[in-house]
Amino acid sequence: MNDETINTMGERGEAVAESGHGMIRRLHARGVPVRKRKKTSHCWISFKELPVTEDQIESAECIKCRAVYKCDSITGTCSILRHHDTCYSSSNVVSPQSSTRSSKFRYEKFSELLIEAIVQHDLPFSFVEYEGIRAVFQYISPSLKLPWRNTVKAHVLKLFDSEKLKL
């Protein structure tokens, strides 16, 4: 070891080597460094380990949002895992679903706009049953259910009757 290293005895009888840089390494009685366990949690994909502070607090920083959490042997990785799940969840990622739909989405309004587009462009009622159209809407929002052609037909007839009464 170099001249800046101070050797002391740890609480369990193992030697502790403290360098001038504040870095502490545990040593066996023979002076061989103890290896740290491999980090196996999936949270370490999105966190980087920070150097140990002067108070001997181990911490990690989120790569995405730069949040810092304790991760010592007492605290563990619970807080890091919780942050990983919220920071990297699909609700925080821009997706077609979140970018195209407003927060005030109403199925009735969607259905009305779809029926108006079918009438305006003189599309067949079976337009809503086309595989390609269903695939597009399924991609935009998997929870969105398109009406069937008979439902579209009934709404168009209702729309026709209401417009006829206006005249």
Give the end of a domain, one of 93, 114, 138.
93
113 and 155 inside one domain: yes
Q: Residue 124: is it exposed, middle or buried by C-beta count within 10 angstroms (0-12/13-18/19+)?
A: exposed
- Residue reference for tokens 């807080």: 79
Question: What is the C-alpha separation between 46 and 76, in angstroms, rounded?
Answer: 16
57 and 72 inside one domain: yes
Question: What sign results for the dihedral spanned by CA atoms 10, 12, 13, 17?
Answer: negative
73 and 86 inside one domain: yes
68 and 85 inside one domain: yes
Q: What is the 3-state secondary structure (H, E, C) of 88-132?
A: CCCCCCCCHHHHHCCCCCCHHHHHHHHHHHHHHCCCCHHHHHCHH
Do the domain assignments include residue 167?
no
Give the end of a domain, one of 77, 93, 109.
93
101 and 130 inside one domain: yes
Do the domain assignments include residue 69?
yes
106 and 138 inside one domain: yes
How high is the pLDDT of residue 33?
64
How high is the pLDDT of residue 111?
87
Do the domain assignments include residue 166?
no
Query: What type of residue is 167?
Result: L
46 and 85 inside one domain: yes
Per-residue model confidence as pLDDT tens digits over 89-101: 644 434 444 445 5
Do the domain assignments include residue 133?
yes
**Number of folded domains that form the chain:** 3
Residue 21 has pLDDT above 70, yes or no: no
Residue 155 has pLDDT above 70, yes or no: yes
Task: Tell me the residue range of the domain where 70 lies.
Answer: 39-93
The beta strand positions in the chain, using DSSP E, are 6-9, 15-18, 24-27, 47-49, 59-62, 68-70
Per-residue model confidence as pLDDT tens digits over 111-144: 889 999 999 999 999 999 999 999 998 888 888 8
Do the domain assignments include residue 57?
yes
153 and 103 inside one domain: yes
Global pTM? 0.39
Do the domain assignments include residue 165?
no
17 and 71 inside one domain: no
25 and 46 inside one domain: no
- Residue reference for tokens 């259910």: 145
